[in-house]
Amino acid sequence: MVYFRRDFTPGGTYFFTLALRNRKSHLLTSHIDLLGETLQTIKQKYPFSTEAIVVLPDHVHAVWKLPDNDFNYSLRWHQIKSNFTKRLIKEGLKITKDQRGEYQLWQRRFWEHRIRDESDLQAHIDYIHFNPVKHGYVPSAKEWPYSSFHRYVQNGVLQENWGYDGAQGAFGE
């Protein structure tokens, strides 16, 4: 049996990867409004700061900063996954359950990495913004609409023609 060791640092900054069970699905981008509403609902109830995010058809990468006295990112992701699934069902999507009675939309686990320092943070933000290009969805980051890249450009942090050669490391894909 595989045991996952999670890092639970109050006020920590974390990189996450969450994926749908069906890695050929386009559900996340085809229902981007529902996903956005879900993220906002959970963020209001359990605050966190989104430092960077990209939503691809079948998976999400994000960097969150948690409040100083809080380390419970697992609760937040559980709530997001559950709430989004329920919203899809309410919209009429048929989502099957497994033997345990769990909906078969999301992979059961997710990848988590606590950000160690500024260079680690920058590497993960770059990875997030370049991910749609890496997967061949668009030729440049500016062309992918479901990314915090546009906020970084708007705030003058990145140029619109920003490019990246690709990050090295373990990013949970």
Catalytic residues: 146
Are 110 and 59 spatial neighbours (Cβ–Cβ below 8 Å)?
Answer: no
Mention every residue, 6+ apart, whose C-beta is less than 8 A from residue 95.
85, 88, 89, 103, 104, 105
Q: Give me the DSSP letters along 34-51.
A: HHHHHHHHHHHHS--EEE
For residue 89, the one-letter residue type is I
Lay out the sheet containing 111-114: strands in order across: 49-55, 59-65, 13-19, 111-114
Are 35 and 28 spatial neighbours (Cβ–Cβ below 8 Å)?
Answer: yes
Helix (H) or strand (E) holding 30: helix 27-30
